[in-house]
Amino acid sequence: MDKPPSRIKTVRLPNEPFLQPNGYKPAPLDLSAITLAPKMEELVDQLAENTHNLWAKERIQQAWTYGLNEDPDMRRSPHLVPYSKVDEAIKKANR
C-alpha cells in the first residue's frame, strides 16, 4: 500500500524521545541512591497501599471487577484485590 486510506491520520512524532507535542518532557529524579529509615519505609508502604486503594475504588466506581487477566473491554483486572495480595511488581510501582 503506497498511500494510507484517507480516514487514517498521520501523526508526527517528536525527534527527541519522550518529548510531547506541547513541549512537556518528563524528567524523573534518580532516587536509586536514597536510603530511608525504617519508619520512613513504613510510611512509604502505607502511602503505596493508599494509592492502590484509591485506584481500586476508582476502578470499582467505573464498574470494573476482578478477573484473572487484564481486560479493558470487559473491565476486568487481576489487581482488584487487597493490597496484601497484590504481586510485588505492582507494589513496587505504587511505591
pLDDT tens profile 14-56: 667 777 778 888 888 888 889 999 999 999 999 999 999 999 9
Domain boundary assignment for the chain: 38-94
CB-based contacts of 21, cutoff 8 Å, min separation 6: 14
Percentage, residues of the chain above pLDDT 70: 84
Pairwise CA distance, residues 69 & 19, whole Å: 32
∠ CA 94-18-8, rounded to 5°: 110
In the chain the first and final C-alpha atoms are separated, in Å, by: 46
Residue 47 and residue 53 in contact, taking contact as beta carbons nearer than 8 Å = no
Count of CB atoms within 10 A of residue 77's CB? 20
Top pLDDT among 77 and 22 is at: 77
For the whole model, what pTM was predicted? 0.68
